[in-house]
Amino acid sequence: MTAAVNDTQVVIVGAGQAGLAVAYYLRRFELTPGTDFVVYDRGPGTGGAWQHRWDALRLGSAHHVTDLPGMAELGLSFETADRLLPAKDIVAGYYRRYEEHYGLDVRRPVNVHRIFDRGADLVVAHNEGETRTRVVVNASGTWGAPFIPWYPGMDGFRGRHVHTSTYVSAEEFAGQDVVVVGGGTSAIGFLLELEGVASSLTWATRRPVDFRDESELTIEGGVAAVAQQDAAARAGAALPSIVSGTGVPRTRRIAAGIDRGLLVERPMFSRVEPDGVRWDDGSFTRADAIIWATGFRPELRHLSPLKLREKAGGLTVASGASWQDSRIFLAGYGPQASTIGANRAGRVIARQVVAQL
């Protein structure tokens, strides 16, 4: 049997925005990082999922990052960050300084494989051994669970299937015929980057894109997205996409793309053929690559031994706590997803965790 490498009261899985927000508040509530609670992160460096984003992505109204709680104490804010630098570098740098300033003692790279019961304890099994704990805060996010919907003929495609998680740069598609799938800001970003680089571009979406006249996400849009996520989480249902609640802000760059005819979507193709895609009307579009900007699902496989998943496809969660197991909290899940609501939820979850100890 593998010996436990650490015993602690709380294990936080993931050091993205949600995990760091919970860690910050646990420290504020006088728990000691590295002793009373441990943060495990599988990434090679700081920045959560942002460290893996593609090179050309910049911070802006379409790709917004909310400041972590207490970040102002460091004199840092994403609102004033240099928008000419790669977003992944800015976020990684700010998060590194944040972790160091607050002494959060994040352990990385530690890959959590599964979490299970052993008597009265929870056991977190990972690549360095096992950790016994009383409470787990799961903040694993979604980056490790990319979603690509299935369409007939996909396996026979002779070109490349590329998901957002594996996209690196526009240059790798130079001179190619490319189909981009997805109705969110990532798909739009890829189209804007590939314009003038790819030989041809075609945009396919499962539903019409909801362009909003505002130039950035509004409070009302954020509230609507949070409400949709919260309702699904409380019902134990599969979570809807964030963009289905917020829509896509019509920034100046996006508006210009619409005006010049680049950002015009087609209804989804019906099947994939060896050399391209076939549409419902029988027409065919040649493709060397299909970029699936179709999002992610919550990464919860390591929780499967606890049998938390409902028949409706999700986990029943309210105020960040699992209804099936009171020792399990889910940060960054449902209404806390993305940067919407994560900081506020960090404080709520931390208070509940301390109350249990």
Tell me the Cα Rg of the chain. 21
* pLDDT at position 32 over 70: yes
Q: What is the pLDDT of residue 223?
A: 44
How, if at all, do strands 276-278 and 271-273 pair? antiparallel
Q: Are 347 and 18 in contact (CB under 8 A)?
A: no
Rounded CA separation 48/51 (Å)? 6
d(CA 5, CA 275): 52
Query: What global pTM score does this model have?
Result: 0.84
Of residues 78 and 314, more confidence is placed in: 78
Confidence band of 342 (pLDDT split at 50, 70, 90): low
User: Are the CB atoms for 334 and 239 separated by under 8 Å?
Assistant: yes
- The predicted pLDDT at position 3 comes to 47
Average the pLDDT over 236-261 and give the result. 72
C-alpha separations of 334 from 141, 232, 331 in Å: 10, 7, 9
- Residue 280: is its pLDDT beyond 80? yes
* pLDDT (0 to 100) of residue 226: 52
pLDDT at residue number 333:
75
Dig out the tokens for 130 from the structure: 């096992």
Where is mean pLDDT largest: 185-199, 206-220, 248-262? Answer: 185-199
Compute, in degrees rounded to 10, the torsion defined by CA atoms 94, 100, 104, 107: 90
Does residue 85 surpass a pLDDT of 70? yes
pLDDT reported for residue 334: 59
In the predicted structure, residue 339 carries a pLDDT above the cut 80: no
Q: Tell me what pLDDT residue 61 has.
A: 55
Give pLDDT, residue 113.
Answer: 96
Are 252 and 60 contacting, i.e. CB atoms less than 8 angstroms apart?
no
Look at 136-150, 163-177, 244-258, 286-300 and tell me which has the smallest mean pLDDT: 244-258
Q: Dig out the tokens for 41 from the structure.
A: 């992160």
Q: What is the pLDDT of residues 34-69, one digit of tens each?
A: 999 999 999 999 999 889 988 888 887 556 788 999
Write down the pLDDT at residue 312. 59
Mean pLDDT, the chain, as a whole number? Answer: 87
How high is the pLDDT of residue 217? 47
Average pLDDT over residues 222-233: 50
Could you tell me the domains of the chain?
A: 4-144+296-356 (3.50.50.60), 154-213+250-292 (3.50.50.60)
Kindly indicate the confidence band of residue 9, based on its pLDDT and cuts at 50, 70 and 90. Answer: very high
pLDDT of residue 311: 64
Strands, DSSP E only, in 1-69? 4-7, 10-13, 37-40
